[in-house]
Structure 1
Amino acid sequence: MKFLYLLQHNTINMVCGGFMNIVIVGAGFGGISAAALLAQKGLEVTVIEKNEGPGGRASVYSEGGFTFDMGPSWYLMPDVFENFFAEFNARPEDFYDLKKLEPAYRVFFDGGRVVDVSSDIEKNYELFDSFEEDGGERLREYLESAGKLYDSVVKEMLYRDYRSVLDFLNGKLLLQGLRLNILESLEHFVNRRFKSDEARKILQYSMGFLGSAPQNTPSMYHIMSHIDMTLGVFYPEGGIRRVAQSIYELALEHGARFHFNEEVKRIEVIDGVATSIITDRNIYEADAVLVNADYPHSELELLDEPHRTYDEAYWESRVMAPSAFVAYLGVDRVIDALEHHNLFLERDWADKFQEVFDPRRARWPERPSYYVNVPSRTDTTAAPQGSDTLFILVPLAPGMEDNEELREGLYRRVMDDLERKVGENIRDHVVVKRIFAINDFRDRYNAYRGTALGLSHTLRQTALWRPSHKSKKVKNLYYTGHYTHPGIGVPMTLISSQIVCNEMMDDMGINPDG
């Protein structure tokens, strides 16, 4: 094996004419997946990470026997993970055990009704029949539309890059006559088909995970309902952190080198070419640079002004996805009323979105909708026996003031609401507590305005209109991650890395399939 690796390595070195040394800034999902893909081709890959380990926002917090995924908690779009691991002639199951959740998630409505969205689609048709007359049939038609669109989007849009309007308009997706309804909002699209408040909210809640409001999101994103209801919601034993660790181990296996607890301070550019990465400890020479760190931070803080593709005015004009208030709680009892995923949805839904997405109305919420993840419901490694791990998330507008008083006030309001709705005392049983919010996203991840997710998925920030994978000013500078196409979420970030790595190898004269 060693001989074959060296033979491949030396062959590529001759083909590339020395364009071999790749430095990746950031070890989030974008960085580790790109490192694995590029190292597999025999390229010399070095990854520099500011924090203590791989995963980026998928970091890990452990205390008192409780273990928390700090960021992503939903395992969706299993086909995308299968596609990524297939690049290595492997399957996700070779690295971690997957369990399909039942129920997929539980929804607590403000009026007191509690429902479970099932992994059995027939049960969901019955659930929607309980919401409104012919609700099940309406859902069937809605998911059929979403499924057809998903198949077309995955095949024709997600795995390709966009450099001009023609790239977007010439796709088979449009030539086949499939109606995208891109000028119609998701909110309008759903409301035309469903009358009940419950049905509408279940079909729109996922926009919060895409960092957008339903009234600002193109209707094509109704594919999200196909993703969670038809494809299903899964959980990898060991959490999302296990997925990150698996991809990290793949990168190491193929020769990538990682340097943690080392912060990049500058991308050195000479005559339009990135020549080195300067950190707080070392200088790394580079034939090409791939950035997985926060995109605006990288452009505004790591590059001199003449080398920036996007200036400060560009980023100020963008619609940023929310930041978040996250409470990590270790509880010395089991909260029986909670499932693995739980959504608490308030009645005045539209106003709550405005508090997050309208800068003029941004404020710390009084009665927010929120999400509670209880991984210990599924994962025996998440908490001591007889205990629960709670991950409570409230979307917040980015860029707001963040201090201890505001955090504790919101914590108190959310816990009051949570305890009332589940009918159980929680606060008296909290033995581990950590709160993570706007300032922490900014400080730990260099996140622009403290955003938790990057750029919102509005029409003007989809596909072609997201920041480019390749710098327009620096010849050998590339980007991956949730700011680029296709967007927010772990599956999208894996696809982003597959796109940009193919582009890099094409620029180097390497056959990606060779």
Structure 2
Amino acid sequence: MHKKVAVIGSGFSGISASAYLGKMGYEVHVFEKHDQPGGRARQFKTDSGFTFDMGPSWYWMPDIIENFFNDFGYKSKDFYELVALNPQFEMIFADAKLNVPQSYEELKNVFESLEKGSAKKLDAFMLDAKYKYQVGMQEFVNKPSINWLEYVSPKIAKSALKLDLLSNFRDFVAKYFKNKKLQVLMEFPVIFLGASPKNIPALYSLMNYGGYALGTFYPQGGFYQLVLAMKKIAEENGVKFHFNQNVTEIKVENKRATAIKVNNTELFFDYIVGSSDYHHTETLLEKKYRNYTESYWSSKTFAPSCLIYYIGINQKIPKLKHHTLFFENELDNHIDTIYTNKKWPEKPLFYVCCPSKTDPNVAPKENENLFFLMPLAIGLNDTEETREKYFNLMISRLENLTKVSDLKSKIIYKKSYCVSDFISDYNAYGGNAYGLANTLKQTAVLKPKIINKKVKNLYYTGQLTVPGPGVPPSIISGKIVANQIYKQK
């Protein structure tokens, strides 16, 4: 008789864990409180003809995502068309615009135009970043990080100094580039890892390689196509998905999780995987069985929450790119409001995605689909009045860029999403959007454990445990947990 596994939540880590466990021969059931899979990567459609991805919009590290498909004998192209974006994105400064081209050779020309000699320095930076990417994404991220002995190997020991674990990202970038715009461009990818670049290990230059060198992509039909593809693979491996099924309790007997309570019904399983927010999964247990206390969570550094707007516009916006970063204001001032002062920013930075530039099916003909995102501190009070204040700031800066006047009058669909929504929809601690920060003190073994130390058959996966925030790491997290269960059988 097959062992039964319950997976709580159907975000990327939950679907990944379920697919691998199904392939290993387990009877797997995924319980999702919403009416569709994907978690933060859900999608919704409007009566007016718009299709909005609710969360992730940067398809980076395509090779890591491809590894998931390869593990099941597939390629991503078996499920969706992946389009390489050119430019990858546009970055707006107070006095200039900077386009990041798809071609690496063209990117070197952009660097050289801003700082003489920086093209060769970019080569050196990327060579170093590639090494970190290969070691980090092959050696580090696939470890369960239960204890430090996992990291005792000749290869990792040999790599230790080259990985720059003890130097900070800001100083590392400054060694290569003096131009302020180039420094900001190189620092941008680590902002969502959960700390200022001056507090993130230089190891994470691997993000620059995974983005700028490997390219930025878009799956036609939206990021949700990745969710649907992964779900299909899981189902092909026998996984059963149960939607509108809210798990409210994990039952424990004799230090073993025996059952979950779903919509007031007890269901019995041999193993339980919490792919929901780690802190929330713990609240489903009696306090004596939890790995961590409330004071533990309050002491942690979280990656940002954010203010999001989903906007439908009834005309084309000619000068807008697929991805646009509005960095006219000082980066550190905004970062300090997220991680130090924890307040709404006075002069915010933000990002606009316009997928209708690449995909004609996400908006009616001659219309545009816009996604605004402004990173914020967790735990903020987000009244509708405050949300609207910042929306007005963002859309006015979009008008300045595109020279399209009175964009507000052209809005035919508008929906906001912020801290309180992350809490109500995902039970996200403090309304976090991206999980736990990848600071040095919260890396590898220092992250919340994937195993429950008091309950033998309870596991955790997702962006609050190893390897960390982001879509590729979440997919890997599911695989790590599946392998850990398989080892314990």
Structure 1 length as normaliser, TM-score?
A: 0.93
* Structure-2 separation of matches of 1:176 and 1:446: 38
* CA-CA distance at 1:223 after TM superposition: 0.9
Which residue in 2 is equivalent to 1:430?
A: 411
In 1, Cα distance between equivalents of 2:185 and 2:160: 29
- Give the deviation of 1:169 after TM superposition: 4.6
Tell me the equivalent position of 2:286: 304
- 1:432, distance to aligned residue in structure 2 (A): 0.4
Distance 2:245 2:110 in 1: 51
| Matching of residues 36-185 of structure 1 within 5 Å | 36-63=19-46, 64-111=48-95, 113-170=96-153, 172-176=155-159, 178-185=161-168
Q: For the residues of structure 1 that align with 2:129 and 2:434, how far apart are their CA atoms?
A: 24
Once the two structures are superposed, the pairs formed by residues 402-417 of structure 1 within 5 Å of their partners are: 402-417=382-397
The residue matched to 1:453 in structure 2 has which SS? coil
Check whether the contact 1:333–1:429 (CA below 8 A) recurs between aligned residues: yes
The answer on whether the counterparts of 1:156 and 1:171 sit within 8 Å (CA) in structure 2 is: no
1:293 positional shift: 0.2
- Whole-Å Cα distance in 1 between the matches of residues 17 and 208 of structure 2? 29
The Cα of 1:177 is off from its aligned counterpart by 5.4
1:355/1:176 Cα in 2 relative to 1: closer, same or farther (>3 Å)?
closer
* CA distance in structure 1 between the aligned counterparts of 2:238 and 2:264, rounded to whole angstroms: 22
2:471 — aligned with what?
490
How many pairs align?
487
Letter in 2 for 1:340: H
Query: Does 209-218 or 21-30 show the bigger shift?
Result: 209-218
Residue from 364, 380, 391 that aligns with 1:400: 380
Aligned counterparts of 2:118 and 2:402: Cα–Cα separation in 1 = 27
Correspondence for 1:352 among 329, 334, 345? 334
Percent of paired sites with the same residue: 37
CA distance in 1, matches of 2:110, 2:171: 22
- Pairing 1:371–2:351 present: yes
For residues 57-95 of structure 1, the C-alpha deviation after alignment (integer angstroms, 9 at most, x for no partner) is 001121110111000011111111221111211111111
| Structure 1 segment 249-288 matched on structure 2, within 5 A | 249-288=232-271
Tell me how far apart the structure 2 counterparts of residues 415 and 309 of structure 1 sit (CA, whole Å).
44
Query: Cα distance, 1:243 vs. partner?
Result: 0.5
Partner of 1:225: 208
| In 2, Cα distance between equivalents of 1:171 and 1:411 | 52
1:330 matched residue in structure 2: 312
Q: Indicate the SS of the match to 2:205.
A: helix
The answer to whether the 8 A contact 1:52-1:260 is kept is: yes
Q: Map of 1:440-451 to 2, 5 A cutoff?
A: 440-451=421-432
On the 8 A contact 1:366/1:413 being kept in 2, the answer is no
Tell me the alpha carbon deviations over residues 186-211 of structure 1, each in whole angstroms, 9 at most, x when there is no partner: 01111222111110011010112323
Q: CA RMSD in A?
A: 1.3
- Show structure 1 runs of 5+ residues with no match: 1-9, 14-19, 509-514
Query: In 2, are the aligned partners of 1:267 and 1:274 still within 8 Å (CA)?
Result: yes
* Structure 1 pair 270–375 and aligned structure 2 pair: CA distance change class (3 A): same
1:363 counterpart letter in structure 2 = K
Distance 1:177 1:311, change over 3 A: closer
- Between 1:276-285 and 1:241-250, the stretch displaced more is 276-285
5 Å-filtered alignment, 1:458-473, equals 458-473=439-454
What residue ranges of structure 2 are gaps of 5+ in the alignment? Answer: none
1:165 Cα deviation (Å)? Answer: 2.4
Q: Pick closer, same or farther for the CA change 1:198–1:62 going to 2, 3 Å.
A: same
1:289 CA drift (Å)? 0.1
Using the alignment, how far apart are the partners of 2:87 and 2:107 within structure 1?
10
Q: Deviation at 1:166? A: 2.8
For the pair 1:507 / 2:488, whether they are aligned, the reply is: yes
Equivalents in 1 of 2:277, 2:160: separation in Å? 37
CA contact (8 A) 2:309 2:414 kept: yes
Say whether 1:389 aligns with 2:373. Answer: no
Q: Displacement of 1:156 after TM fit?
A: 1.3
Asked if 1:320 is matched to 2:302, the reply is yes
Please give the alpha-carbon distance, in whole angstroms, between the structure 1 residues aligned to 2:198 and 2:293.
28
Q: TM-score, normalised by structure 2?
A: 0.97
